[in-house]
């Protein structure tokens, strides 16, 4: 049986350190990055002392962004690292991040060559977020922005989002009724994932992910196909973040020994088979209907749009390309949005006074005779402030997907050489005490002060590689959060003083432990909830 990922990592660290420390006779290379470069113009960024082969990997723990944030006060807002076989520069200030993605946006538009594991699980590194900058990126970016995630497309998805939110609320209410009207214990991560997955499946392939019988059950129950995809993503998504074997190619054989590669390959095979079934089913439907029932414009499924592009540009839109786009949509639209909502609810549970204030706002603006809808959310200023503050503290991607410089440039008064990997620590930037007063505190009120929205934040990235799904994520987040606040009173589980806010490793900042909470239908909303 393969070892858990955490055990693998511990084994790697012990084995690697034991072996490579014997190579200390090699000349120390750490001081080379602290002086001026050979041209005598700008100095290279400062760097901690490093050891042969590993470079600085031995001083970095997980979560990665927290380790980098601890180094920034000592080495400054721009510092360099040697990560095994790769050179990297870490940026931890708003000013320098803005410089990277405005003045040097084209220079940093590229991605590093895909890590071996990424090539396996992300279609050779050809997904929207990971593909190199160039004609292919422009193609898939245009498809995403113009056809799949445009403002009109996102608006057309709102009814599906609303329907799934209502279904989740209905099931949670029934769980409370089953608990004799008392608080019901719910695991929010699973419910939020299922909500986002169902919404995407309806818009991507017009497919339901919840079994028909589940509508009459107190708890959720995904269909077998949806469960199959979830199990595959549970294996794949943790591997999207940086792992020690990515930076040390000589360790690739350990992936086989510990069963990681085999487990990942099996999950990839199941995922691709799932996507191919969706594509084939939609292709068959379109052929049978000969376009008559395919819908027009935003009424088309996303797969129908992609198949239409395949028909006009078959060499550009192969089935593999379509699957890479679907994978980007599913990973960003399920895990990232679910994790962010989970963090918001965690913060609210630790600050019940904020929940009460938000409920009062919803009651005053929407009332208690109906559920709030997407059109209500923009009018709920305090709810918007809660979302902004949560994204500041727990950005969707705390360490942006790595960029790579294609030429020498200057950042923060230092020279960054071409071919250097750029790591932008959004988590550290959002908690910079020079910008934010009491930066680690959860204070939604700070966004109700004039000028607060102008402070630099980049929870979805910045520049031409910015996440194209920001509008959809914010629409979903506001509607889900507002409805949960409107319909239920919330409390932490018995026996706990507060919600544990420990962060887990991963690209999208997961909680270390899934969030469980106690929810009880609000008395003023029973008339609405009983009719759902």
402/400 Cα distance (integer angstroms): 6
Residue 36 in tokens: 């001026």
Measured CA distances, 155 to 169, 365, 461 (Å): 22, 22, 22
Task: Supply the pLDDT for residue 360.
Answer: 98
414/44 Cα distance (integer angstroms): 5
What is the number of other CB atoms lying within 10 angstroms of the CB of residue 443? Answer: 17
440/427 Cα distance (integer angstroms): 11
Would the CA dihedral through 473, 476, 482, 487 be positive or negative?
negative
511/394 Cα distance (integer angstroms): 10
Our measurement of the distance from residue 304's CA atom to the centroid of its chain's CA atoms, rounded to an integer in Å, reads 26
Q: Are 506 and 238 in contact (CB under 8 A)?
A: yes
Radius of gyration of the chain (CA): 24
Closest listed residue to residue 129, CA positions, set 399, 328, 397: 328
Would the CA dihedral through 145, 151, 152, 156 be positive or negative?
positive
- Counting Cα atoms < 13 Å in the Cβ hemisphere of 185 gives 6
What 319-322 contacts at long range (C-beta under 8 Å, 24+ apart), as own/partner pairs, is 319/276, 319/279, 320/123, 320/126, 321/126, 321/140, 322/275, 322/279
Which pLDDT tens digits describe the chain residue by residue (532 residues)? 443 445 555 554 545 554 444 444 344 434 344 444 444 489 999 999 999 999 999 999 889 999 999 999 999 999 999 999 899 999 999 999 999 999 999 999 999 988 888 899 999 999 999 999 999 999 999 999 999 999 999 999 999 999 999 999 999 999 888 887 689 999 998 899 899 999 999 999 887 665 544 444 444 456 777 788 889 998 998 888 767 778 887 777 877 878 888 999 999 999 999 999 999 999 999 988 765 445 555 578 999 999 999 999 999 999 999 999 999 999 888 888 999 999 999 999 999 999 999 999 999 999 999 999 999 999 999 999 999 999 999 998 999 999 999 999 999 999 999 999 999 999 999 999 999 999 999 999 999 988 777 788 999 999 999 999 999 999 999 999 999 999 999 999 999 999 999 998 888 899 999 999 999 999 999 999 999 9
| Parallel, antiparallel or unpaired: strands 403-404 and 421-424 | antiparallel
Residues near 498 by beta carbon (within 8 Å), at least 6 away in sequence: 349, 350, 492
460/475 Cα distance (integer angstroms): 14
Residue 210 in tokens: 């919840």
Closest listed residue to residue 477, CA positions, set 412, 387, 408, 355: 387
Task: Supply the pLDDT for residue 528.
Answer: 96
Residue 466 in tokens: 């910015």
In terms of residue numbers, what domain contains 241? Answer: 5-529
Q: Is 490 exposed, middle or buried (0-12, 13-18, 19+ CB in 10 A)?
A: buried
247/88 Cα distance (integer angstroms): 11
The CATH number given to whatever domain includes residue 364 is 1.10.630.10
DSSP state of 301: -
Domains in the chain, number? 1
Q: Strand order in 403-404's β-sheet?
A: 78-83, 86-91, 421-424, 403-404
């Amino acid at each position: 049986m393969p070892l858990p990922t955490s055990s693998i990592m511990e084994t790697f660290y012990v084995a690697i350190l034991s072996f490579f420390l014997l190579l200390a006779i090699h000349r120390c290379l750490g001081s080379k990055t602290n002086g001026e470069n050979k041209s005598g113009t700008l100095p290279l960024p400062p760097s901690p002392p490093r050891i042969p082969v590993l470079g600085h990997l031995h001083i970095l723990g997980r979560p990665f962004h927290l380790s980098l944030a601890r180094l920034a006060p000592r080495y400054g807002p721009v510092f360099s690292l040697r990560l095994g076989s790769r050179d990297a520069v870490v940026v931890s200030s708003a000013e320098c991040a803005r410089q990277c993605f405005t003045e040097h946006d084209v220079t940093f538009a590229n991605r590093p060559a895909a890590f071996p594991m990424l090539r396996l699980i992300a279609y050779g590194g050809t997904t929207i977020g990971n593909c190199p900058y160039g004609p292919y990126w422009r193609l898939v970016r245009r498809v995403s922005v113009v056809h799949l995630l445009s403002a009109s497309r996102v608006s057309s998805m709102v009814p599906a989002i609303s329907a799934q939110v209502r279904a989740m609320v209905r099931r949670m209410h029934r769980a409370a009724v089953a608990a004799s009207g008392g608080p019901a214990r719910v695991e929010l991560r699973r419910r939020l994932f299922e909500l986002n997955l169902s919404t995407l499946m309806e818009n991507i392939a017009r497919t339901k992910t919840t079994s028909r019988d589940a509508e009459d059950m107190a708890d959720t129950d995904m269909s077998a196909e949806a469960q199959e995809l979830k199990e595959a993503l549970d294996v794949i998504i943790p591997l999207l973040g940086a792992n020690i074997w990515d930076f040390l190619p000589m360790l690739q054989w350990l992936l086989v020994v510990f069963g990681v590669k085999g487990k990942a390959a099996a999950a990839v095979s199941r995922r691709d088979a799932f996507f191919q079934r969706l594509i084939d089913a939609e292709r068959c439907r379109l052929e049978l209907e000969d376009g008559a029932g395919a819908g027009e414009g935003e009424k088309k499924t996303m797969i129908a749009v992609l198949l239409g592009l395949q028909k006009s540009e078959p060499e550009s839109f192969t089935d593999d390309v379509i699957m890479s786009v679907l994978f980007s949509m599913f990973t960003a639209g399920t895990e990232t949005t679910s994790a962010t909502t989970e963090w918001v609810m965690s913060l609210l549970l630790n600050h019940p006074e904020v929940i009460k204030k938000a409920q009062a706002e919803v009651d005053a603006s929407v009332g208690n005779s109906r559920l709030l809808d997407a059109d209500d959310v923009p009018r709920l200023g305090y709810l918007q402030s809660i979302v902004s503050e949560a994204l500041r503290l727990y950005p969707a991607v705390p360490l942006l997907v790595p960029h790579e410089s294609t030429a020498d440039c200057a950042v923060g008064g230092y020279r960054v050489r071409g071919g250097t990997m750029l790591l932008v620590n959004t988590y550290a930037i959002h908690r910079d005490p020079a910008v934010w007063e009491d930066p680690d505190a959860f204070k939604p009120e700070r966004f109700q002060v004039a000028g607060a929205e102008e402070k630099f934040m980049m929870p979805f990235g910045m520049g031409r590689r910015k996440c194209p799904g920001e509008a959809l994520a914010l629409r979903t987040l506001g509607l889900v959060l507002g409805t949960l606040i409107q319909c239920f009173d919330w409390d932490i589980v018995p026996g706990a003083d507060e919600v544990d806010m420990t962060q887990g490793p991963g690209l999208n900042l997961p909680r270390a432990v899934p969030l469980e909470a106690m929810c009880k239908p609000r008395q003023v909303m029973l008339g609405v909830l009983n009719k759902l």
